[in-house]
Amino acid sequence: MLTYDNYAGRERPTGGTYGTSGSASVFVNGSDFTARNLTIENSFVESSVDVQNKQAVALNVRVDRHQFINVRFLGNQDTLLTNGGTQYFYQCYIEGDVDFIFGGSRAVFEESVIHSLDRGSSSNNGYITAASTMITEPFGYLFLNSKLTSDAAAGTVWLGRPWHPGGNPDAIASVLFMNTEMGAHINPIGWTDMSGFLAKDAIFAEYQNYGPGAVITDTRPQLTDEEAAEWTIEKVLKGWNPKGE
């Protein structure tokens, strides 16, 4: 286990605060990195301090061709920051509550468990994704053959919302859930707005999901077979095939 307990509002010894991206327990800033069979955790306890900025990142990863195989990511708000480049998560476990998979990377999450923590609310127990995919990118996050779990109340967790860092209007967000089992905790509306930016202006979509949370409504766009065929692992990852097939 790789673990630490920084958080965004903690003061740095050299002045200022760590901020969200600086709060990570682990940073990966080079290409062609692989991690297997371990846990990456931010162990910060939100109730331990009385500050406003309690974001606490477990992993901050950027650049290209990173593989995480059978890795657990543990945290609360902002657990996993995919901070650009391409990442592949296979048979991983990712846990958190608010925006706990976020950033501008093109990333694939295959055969993974995405677990939303129960914040004890009867109406809103958080958001799985907060993608900031640039409008120039044809793909963002792909969740493939995965499972969304939670002990939270039914209908209280959102699939995601669009994060526009610094108010950048071009960071529109792109997320697709494909062939994924969704628990009853998923809100039937699916997606929601963020900081004045509308979910309907993002690229939020689903394809052949199942389970009690996989309802089809006017607010949850479904891809056609032809559209879904474009979302291959290799295309999402800019031509990289991590399986080497």
**Which residues are catalytically annotated?**
78, 99
Dihedral class, residue 38 (left if φ above 0, else alpha if ψ from -120 to 50, else beta): beta
Q: List phi, psi (to 5°) of 228.
A: -65, -30
Give the integer Cα–Cα distance in Å for 192 and 127.
9
Token pair listed for 152: 């939270």
Query: How many CA atoms lie less than 13 Å away from 136 in the CB half-sphere?
Result: 1
- Residues found in the chain: 245
Beta-bridge partner residues of 90: 69, 110
Give the integer Cα–Cα distance in Å for 61 and 76.
17
